[in-house]
Amino acid sequence: MKFRMLESKYGDRKYVIEEDLPEIGFYLYVYEGEDCIMDYLQDSIELCKEFAEEEFGVPTCSWIELRAEV
């Protein structure tokens, strides 16, 4: 089973939302270059997008689906 993954590049950082098991939630990872410098756990993709916009200014329309749920 593959889980959903989304990516956004904003400024000099890359942001990735990755789904975990349903009882865990979704992770928002913040990358500078190849290094993950922060991660945040949220309950949904929408909450990850909102958090990224509020904390880092990442536009909600900038996310690209890299992997869809299968």
DSSP 15-65: EEEEE--TTT-EEEEEEETTEEEEEEEESSHHHHHHHHHHHH---GGG-EE
Q: Which single residue is written with the structure tokens 């992997």?
A: 67
pLDDT string in tens for the chain (70-residue length): 578 999 999 999 999 999 999 889 999 999 999 999 999 999 999 999 999 999 999 999 999 999 776 5
Show the domain range for 16: 5-67
The pLDDT value recorded for residue 1 is 57
Q: In what order do the strands lie in the sheet with 35-42?
A: 35-42, 26-32, 13-19, 5-10, 64-67
pTM of the predicted protein model: 0.90
The pLDDT value recorded for residue 25 is 96
Based on the structure, what is the number of domains in the chain? 1
The pLDDT value recorded for residue 14 is 98
Exposure string of 24-40, with b = 16+ CB inside 10 Å and e = fewer, is ebbbbbbbeeeeeeeeb
The pLDDT value recorded for residue 68 is 72
